[in-house]
Structure 1
Amino acid sequence: MKLLFLNGSRGEWGYIRPIIDLCIARRIDYGVCATNMVLLSNHGALIDEIKAQGYRVCDDIFMSLEGHSHVTMVKSLGIFLTSFVETINREKPDWLILAGDRGEQLMGAVAAAYTYTPVAHIQAGERSGNIDGVARHAIGKFAHLHFAANQDAADRLARLGEEPFRIHNVGAPQLDELVSGDIAGPADLTSRYDLDVTAPYLLAVLHPVTEEMDLAATQVAAMTSAVGHFNMPKVWILPNNDAGSHAVRQALFLHRKSDTLIFDNLSRRDYLGFLRHATAIVGNSSSGLLEAPTFKIPAVNLGRRQADRVQGSNVINAPFEVDAISAAIKKAISREFNDVLTACENPYGDGCSAQRILDILSAMPIDDRLLVKRLTY
């Protein structure tokens, strides 16, 4: 069995790395096609870390056009589609593994489906509050196997007409390394970043919402103003390169204060360490919903980007208004709320997903029943 993983962002690397590590342990052939932000120095050049750790990168496809607008996003995706089909043709994988809901994953699904390359989709069937949610379900129509992270997503896939044998509730594989403990410890983080992570601090991650691109600067200003009300350090992770990201970056540096650390990117191990020891995570990153519940870390979730997703008891929702964000953070860091979190369970799985995924892929026959899709409605 030969697997091809598509990786365009740091979030997707968290999805697929536990599966790749298990591929290596089981001597399963694999390759990683790196693209988009993974290759960009102003987004942390994750590709350098991936290669330094010895993972096999079979191709890298530069696709991102400057401009950070709706037009450049679409043109960038077109560039990727025409290039990625050559990767598929050369590598000839038994399975293309896609993760999440970004546009390059959708282009990967199109290229694979039309070359009759089996597609397995991680984190299938979920809802979210912007065009990414639409992309996720479009990927679902091209995918041949769906790896759902919870029963809500699995049930939705069935209602969307997917055949039962294609749907598997396996949990979210990015939780595997949280449970295994592959995260940076306090001493390591403190010495490397000159921040005492045993003292209170906020982790802040804000991505632009493509439908609200014109509001990006206003939204980040509201968030920086609100977190500024709290006398503790802030660790900011800069956003992805979707439409509006330039405005978020500009506004963040404009409103930056002396107690703020800003990173283009962090290694997965270090990011999870900062999340594990944070007083709370604030913004609209999916990690507040997906990873934070495992650590029982409060998450202040802003705006519509994660709307409609399954949430644990650690999540507090707020609009992009200074007073509302401040009130939500105040609640998140309160003793009363944290006492409640002792019983918090992660609705996205138990941290044993990679093994389930590889077992299913290994056992699934690749035949006309798999490749020629039927809808049940």
Structure 2
Amino acid sequence: MKIVTIIGARPQFVKAAMVSKAIKDHNEEGKGKISEIIIHTGQHFDANMSDIFFNQMGIPKPDYDLGINSLTHGAMTGQMLEKIEKVLIKEKPDWVLVYGDTNSTIAGALAAKKIHIKVAHVEAGLRSFNMHMPEEVNRILTDRISDVLFCPTDTAMENLTAEGFENMHIKIVKTGDIMLDAAKVYSNYAVQPREVLGTNFVLSTIHRAENTDSKEKLKNIFSALSKIASQKQVVLPLHPRTKHYIEKYDIELSPQIKIINPVGYLEMVWLLSNCCMVVTDSGGVQKEAYFFKKPCITVREETEWIELVEINVNFLTGSDENKILEAYHKVVTNTMNFDINLYGNGNTRETILKELLSN
């Protein structure tokens, strides 16, 4: 069997690393030969945002690096579609495996489907119900044209049922969450960032365009973080886009906010293990906070991980400064339960590979 894996953004590197590990284990155990061809679209091209993940996590080096980045959504997706199609025609895989909800995801799925190659979507069924998010458009369209949908949660399964997917010729499989596999595998290899000396800090990641591209929203978020920092140190791995807009908007940050460069996954695991809470607009970090038993304040209006909100470990605040601070005080004054099994048992990679081999 030949599988082409398409990745382009940081979270996809982590997820793909787990399936690559399952493929390697399968081959070493003499169960038959599976070849994996990795296409890196180049969507994340900064060394700290991309190369470090391959180096740290032992992900096989990409067989193809398309170098497509810094374009509008349409131009980026179009160029990816064209270049991925050429690779697929050359490689003739049995499966194309795509992850999440990026432009790389939808371009890979479209390129494969149009030349009749089977598509499997990891992290299928997620919905924010906000069609203004490019990611929402990408994930809905990818789900609809895939052959197998690998869903991480009951909520994802229910979303697909509500949309009528059970009446389509698409196989739907609940797998658990591939990121839990990564958290379990790599937690023993966590690396402390040199710039961070203490523990019990607030970890924050801010990068979504809906926040960075709005001067008012970004100012409100950092005003709240500055006030939180007056009580407890905030550690902020600074995304390049966020750095650009902080400088553009001339936003003044509290000296108690410890700004560090973007980190690799092993450093992120250490930060999650040693913080006391998370403030983020990331999708994946909300889940990772739960894996490491840390409460999360999500500075977005909606989340794909609604089950975390329902069990009161994740608090949606948007960019409203008062709501962020209210959530912070709720977190520091309440005990929360992180022992509910929402995301499986950490064997998602084996489930995915087994399904691909049986179809």
- TM-score greater than 0.5 by the shorter chain: yes
Letter matched to residue 46 of structure 1:
S
The SS at the match of 2:279 is strand
Deviations 1:280-331 (A, max 9, x none): 1102111343221121100001122526743253101213122221121122
Q: CA deviation at 1:165?
A: 6.2
* 1:319 and 2:318 correspond: yes
Deviations 1:62-116 (A, max 9, x none): 22236xxxxx222122121111111212222211111111122111111010011
Aligned length: 343
- CA shift in 2, pair 1:10/1:183, >3 Å: farther
Letter matched to residue 277 of structure 2:
A
- Equivalents in 1 of 2:246, 2:10: separation in Å? 17
- Which position in structure 2 is the counterpart of 1:33? 39
Which consecutive residues of structure 2, in runs of 5 or more, have no partner in the other structure? Answer: 28-33
- Which position in structure 1 is the counterpart of 2:15? 15
Which consecutive residues of structure 1, in runs of 5 or more, have no partner in the other structure? Answer: 67-71, 365-377
Letter matched to residue 316 of structure 2:
N
- Which position in structure 1 is the counterpart of 2:354? 359
4+ residue stretches of structure 1 with deviation over 6 A? none
- Equivalents in 2 of 1:102, 1:7: separation in Å? 9
CA contact under 8 A between 2:85 and 2:112: conserved in structure 1?
Answer: yes
Letter matched to residue 318 of structure 1:
T
Give 1:133-282 correspondences, 5 Å limit: 133-162=136-165, 163=168, 166-185=171-190, 188-189=191-192, 192-197=193-198, 199-210=199-210, 214-215=213-214, 217-230=215-228, 231-239=231-239, 248-250=245-247, 254-282=251-279
* 1:46 and 2:55 correspond: no
Identity %: 19
- Equivalents in 1 of 2:249, 2:92: separation in Å? 43
- Equivalents in 2 of 1:262, 1:346: separation in Å? 34
RMSD: 2.6
- Which position in structure 2 is the counterpart of 1:117? 117
- Which position in structure 2 is the counterpart of 1:367? none
Q: CA deviation at 1:171?
A: 1.0
Q: Mean alpha-carbon deviation: is it higher for 306-315 or for 273-282?
A: 306-315
Q: CA deviation at 1:249?
A: 4.8
The SS at the match of 2:303 is coil
Letter matched to residue 94 of structure 1:
D
- Which position in structure 2 is the counterpart of 1:347? 342
- Which position in structure 1 is the counterpart of 2:30? none
Letter matched to residue 154 of structure 1:
M
- CA shift in 2, pair 1:331/1:283, >3 Å: same
CA contact under 8 A between 1:34 and 1:47: conserved in structure 2?
Answer: no
The SS at the match of 1:281 is strand
Deviations 1:21-43 (A, max 9, x none): 111121231122112343234xx
Q: CA deviation at 1:340?
A: 2.4
CA contact under 8 A between 1:101 and 1:133: conserved in structure 2?
Answer: yes
Q: CA deviation at 1:360?
A: 0.8
- Which position in structure 2 is the counterpart of 1:106? 106
The SS at the match of 2:97 is strand
- Equivalents in 2 of 1:201, 1:313: separation in Å? 21
- Equivalents in 2 of 1:194, 1:284: separation in Å? 23
- CA shift in 2, pair 1:208/1:133, >3 Å: same
